[in-house]
């Protein structure tokens, strides 16, 4: 069958296996060249097996929950949205969440996903107590910071290339309400946006939408959104009686692929101007339901179809703190000069990195979506070069087209990871389209 990630690029031929037991999973692993796949929300080809893709959605049970510690034990194919639906009404919320709730626990761990609170709480790794990992021989080993620590370290952020994650114990955080106290800070340019991040480093959550097509004095104008879990007593009166409930919301669906010309510099520039003006009107403090704050794109089902049948690619890099300002200016100059159609541009501040092969490092991360075409692929190669020149690295969960040479130039850990896989017999067993492209 032909399979792609959320970006719908590239499309790869693979067989799909849907095991429903550990024994069936072990038989599939024994055939080699497999990779586990959750809900298909990795953007590129990291969750597409070179020979066989293991669909893990049948491993979706919650096993245990400890209300004293917030520890949840669950299978890897469980959706984050199911965790939230079950535990938010009881006063618990994930410690770390990416920008969509339609991901699985296994996928979150394999990518060591980060959220808007990385600068304070770290990535997914910080909330994982242990994982059960099936190795190339079909045996299952529990890995934690104390037991099989080397496998734990390389698996969290290892893109599924050390084995198949079966189960995990993660910790949730207690919350008093399902609402976020949001503070919207319009920033007239990039420097002001970065100053807002630094001035509010103690905020639990921080993220900025950035206008990547604005130039001159408005280059990098942004809307910085800070967030705190609201306490019940501070909510508007109408929400205090049931603080863990939020109004029912309707979702919209993109019914068809948009035509390729729908995204062009004129439409994107118009969208960005309107979005920024709307942000100006919302400046200040407001109370936002959890879904709107963390997962605004989830309200539009199939939003990836906006980019047309060819799909889209995302460029996401992180630049070290010391050179982030000059690097981000250079990236924005290149994007504006290319007049690339990109309306989804997100800037975040990272704290120190932790995992052996995880993406984050202390600095700033910029994520940009582009429709797939020759011009934008060429632009992304130029953005790669700017990232390398500033000592940055790339997010493999979003990657669909990086070269092995570029990855190794950005991240010397890739060579160590490939050597580990070779030495421990992981290379022939766990192979994805991405690992083949990146020589991992």
Question: Residue 205 in contact with residue 179, Cβ under 8 Å?
Answer: no
Check whether the bond before 234 is cis (ω within 30° of 0): no
Torsion, Cα of 300, 305, 306, 308 (10° steps): 180
Question: Residue 348 in contact with residue 118, Cβ under 8 Å?
Answer: yes
Angle at alpha carbon of residue 381, lines to 377 and 383, rounded to 5°: 110
15-17/52-55 β-pairing: parallel
Provide the 10 A C-beta neighbour count for residue 269.
Answer: 16
**CA 399 to CA 410: how far, in whole Å?**
14
Query: Could you tell me how many residues make up the chain?
Result: 440
Question: Residue 123 in contact with residue 351, Cβ under 8 Å?
Answer: no
Question: Residue 112 in contact with residue 355, Cβ under 8 Å?
Answer: yes
pLDDT along the chain (440 residues), means of 10: 95 96 97 97 96 98 98 98 98 97 98 98 98 97 97 97 98 98 97 98 97 90 97 92 88 69 72 86 94 90 82 95 98 89 86 95 96 92 98 98 97 97 96 98
pLDDT of residue 261: 59
pTM of the model: 0.95
Question: Residue 315 in contact with residue 370, Cβ under 8 Å?
Answer: yes
pLDDT of residue 259: 63
Q: How far is CA 206 from the centre of its chain?
A: 15
Beta bridge partners of 3: 12
User: Which residue, chain included where needed, has tokens 């994520």?
Assistant: 367
Structure tokens at 13: 């031929």
Which stretches within 132-256 are classed as H helix? Answer: 149-155, 190-199, 237-240
């Amino acid at each position: 069958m032909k399979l792609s990630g959320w970006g719908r690029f590239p499309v790869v031929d693979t067989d799909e296996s849907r095991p429903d037991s550990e024994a069936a999973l072990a038989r599939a692993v024994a055939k080699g060249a497999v990779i586990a796949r959750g809900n298909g929300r990795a953007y590129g080809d990291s969750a597409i097996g070179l020979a066989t893709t293991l669909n893990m959605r049948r491993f979706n049970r919650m096993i245990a929950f400890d209300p004293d510690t917030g520890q949840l034990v669950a299978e890897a194919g469980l959706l984050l949205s199911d965790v939230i639906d079950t535990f938010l009404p009881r006063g618990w919320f994930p410690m770390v969440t990416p920008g969509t709730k339609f991901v699985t626990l296994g996928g979150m761990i394999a990518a060591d996903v980060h959220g808007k609170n990385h600068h304070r709480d770290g990535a997914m790794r910080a909330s994982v107590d242990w994982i059960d990992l099936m190795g190339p021989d079909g045996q299952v080993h529990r890995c934690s910071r104390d037991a099989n620590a080397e496998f734990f370290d390389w698996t969290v952020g290892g893109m599924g290339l050390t084995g198949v994650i079966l189960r995990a114990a993660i910790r949730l955080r207690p919350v008093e309400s399902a609402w976020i106290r949001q503070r919207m800070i319009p920033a007239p340019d990039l420097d002001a946006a970065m100053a807002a991040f630094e001035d509010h480093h103690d905020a639990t959550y921080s993220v900025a939408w950035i206008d990547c097509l604005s130039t001159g004095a408005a280059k990098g104008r942004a809307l910085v959104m800070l967030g705190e879990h609201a306490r019940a007593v501070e909510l508007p009166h109408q929400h205090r009686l049931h603080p863990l409930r939020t109004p029912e919301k309707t979702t919209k669906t993109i019914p068809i692929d948009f035509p390729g010309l729908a995204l062009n510099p004129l439409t994107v520039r118009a969208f960005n101007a309107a979005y920024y003006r709307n942000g100006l009107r919302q400046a200040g403090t407001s109370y936002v339901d959890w879904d709107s704050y963390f997962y605004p794109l989830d309200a539009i089902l199939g939003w990836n179809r906006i980019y047309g049948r060819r799909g889209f690619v995302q460029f996401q890099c992180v630049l070290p703190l010391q050179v982030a300002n000059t690097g981000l200016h250079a990236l924005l100059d290149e994007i504006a000069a290319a007049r690339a159609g990109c309306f989804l541009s997100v800037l975040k501040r990272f704290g120190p990195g932790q995992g052996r092969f995880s993406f984050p490092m202390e600095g700033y991360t910029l994520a940009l979506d582009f429709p797939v075409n020759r011009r934008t692929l060429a632009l992304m190669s130029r953005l790669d070069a700017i990232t390398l020149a500033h000592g940055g690295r790339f997010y493999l969960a979003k990657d669909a087209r990086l070269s092995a040479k570029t990855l190794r130039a950005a991240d010397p850990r890739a060579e160590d990871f490939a050597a580990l896989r070779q030495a421990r017999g992981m290379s022939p067993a766990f192979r994805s389209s991405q690992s083949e492209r990146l020589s991992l």
